[in-house]
Chain A
Amino acid sequence: MTKIMAPMKARTVPALFVLCMLASACSVAGPAPTPEGHELFQLCSQCHGPTAAGNRAVNAPEIAGLPQWYIEAQLKKFKQGGRGTHFDDLTGMQMRPMAMSLATDAEIAVVSEYVSKLPVVKPAAELKDGNAEHGKTLFATCLACHGPQAGGMEAMKAPPLNHASDWYLFASLKKFKAGIRGTNPLDVSGATMRPMSQTLVDEQAMKDVIAHIGTLQQ
């Protein structure tokens, strides 16, 4: 028995070594692990800032604390071409390659979760001549989807607006009204927003409703 075992043992050690090498080779060839949220966020922070509070100079809105479902949906739209592919959507075109740099749905989910957990930053008002009182009346159309405090409703695919940058809301409303957003067949939820934007007759009406949104509590 001892005589049989001894050569087996002698062969076992190199065999195990070869198996370990093969196993490590297989693990190298497998899919790369999904990076952590804070690692993926490094790219976002270049424009949106380290706290995701936004930077108007580079057309990047505040995104900290937005719901994960909304961030995921928008990143997927950008990546698939539902946003950022309209001829006049110049700021959307800036965002699209960033979403395309996220290789998998898992990466989109991880970075969206990370951003959604960042503390909300309410940006300072930049639009000056909005009439919040008049905007309150106009907001009646918005609250069915975005909620009475503009806190957003996932069931309606409506994001919270009450901590959004006012300049970004203004730019977005103008894009929806002009058909720059909400007309791409891949942007289904955007298509529901587009007719709503048509109810605002002019830019002053947009400023008024944004002024009212600025008064709402989170």
Chain B
Amino acid sequence: MIEHYIEQVSTYAADIDNLITMIAVITGFWFVLVEVVFLGLIVAYRKKPGVKAQYITGEEKHQKRWIGIPHELVLLCDIAVIIGAVRVWVDVKQTMPPAQETVRIIGQQWAWSFVQPGPDGKLDTADDIKTVDELHVKVDTTYHFKLEARDVLHSFSVPVFRLKQDAIPGRVITGWFRAKKTGTHDIQCAEICGIGHGLMPARIVIESAGEHNAWMAAQAALATK
């Protein structure tokens, strides 16, 4: 359902959407049921001529069932949510598939910068390719990212990946993504970081291997000029 509004471009986007949909359906069901029962009771036990209001302690068995049965059913739903959430958490955050490429991502007021290995294939060497506001990646390739912040808290967010990770000054946080189709999409900051927070206008460009290699070659040529 969510993919009708925002594309699923990473390999784990569907898992996260399914989890959110499951939680929305369960909580939605209980919300509607509770409101219907609540309003129904209000109408059924409204003021009537000749009927005196009474105080109910709720200690009778048939009264306690109104709380006890839903409580146990909600606990069962909680278990279902926890199982689903832990499974996604382990797959996305705890398990790190081996990296085919690594990119350094740096947040600062108010831009995203990216460092990718140059022709030598190694990060943090002289031929690194550095870009601002534009991250070029290959489709069907597992990337590890090393996320840093130069000044204050930021949060690296790629909505089509369903990826959101805080960037914290002084720490290097490693995560991963694998894009499953080509295209250009928004990157945004999801942590208030100052007056320009709403305008950290980066893009992720997901390319085929051929397009990406051509882009890398053009960048390497620019760097040597």
A contact residues vs B (CB 8 Å cutoff): 43, 46-47, 81, 84-87, 90, 93-94, 96-98, 100-101
Contact = CB atoms under 8 A, between A and B. Distances in A.
B108 A90 contact: yes
Contacts of A98: 195-196, 199
Contacts of B201: 97, 100
A159 B198 CA distance: 31
Contacts of A93: 108-111, 132
A103 B131 CA distance: 25
A101 B199 contact: yes
Contact of B200 (A81, A87, A97): A97
B198 to A, nearest CB: 8
8 smallest A-B Cβ distances: which pairs?
A97-B199, A97-B196, A93-B111, A87-B130, A97-B110, A85-B132, A100-B199, A94-B109
Question: Could you say which interface size class chain B belongs to?
Answer: 10 to 19
Interface in B128-154: 130-133, 150
Contacts of A90: 108, 150
Interface string B95-138: 00000000000001111010000000000000000111100000
B195 A96 contact: no
Contacts of B110: 93-94, 96-97
Contacts of A84: 111
A98 B198 CA distance: 10
Interface in B182-205: 195-196, 198-201
A190 B108 CA distance: 24
A194 B113 CA distance: 23
B82 to A, nearest CB: 40
Nearest to A81: B133
A85 B108 contact: no
Which of the listed residues B108, B130, B195 has the most CB atoms from chain A within 10 Å of its own CB? B195
B199 A87 contact: no
A87 B129 CA distance: 10
A101 to B, nearest CB: 6
A114 to B, nearest CB: 19
B152 to A, nearest CB: 12
A93 B111 CA distance: 6
Interface in B153-203: 195-196, 198-201
A101 B132 CA distance: 18
A74 B118 CA distance: 32
A97 B110 CA distance: 7
Contact of B132 (A43, A47, A86, A100): A86
A93 B107 CA distance: 11
B196 A85 contact: no
Contacts of B113: 87
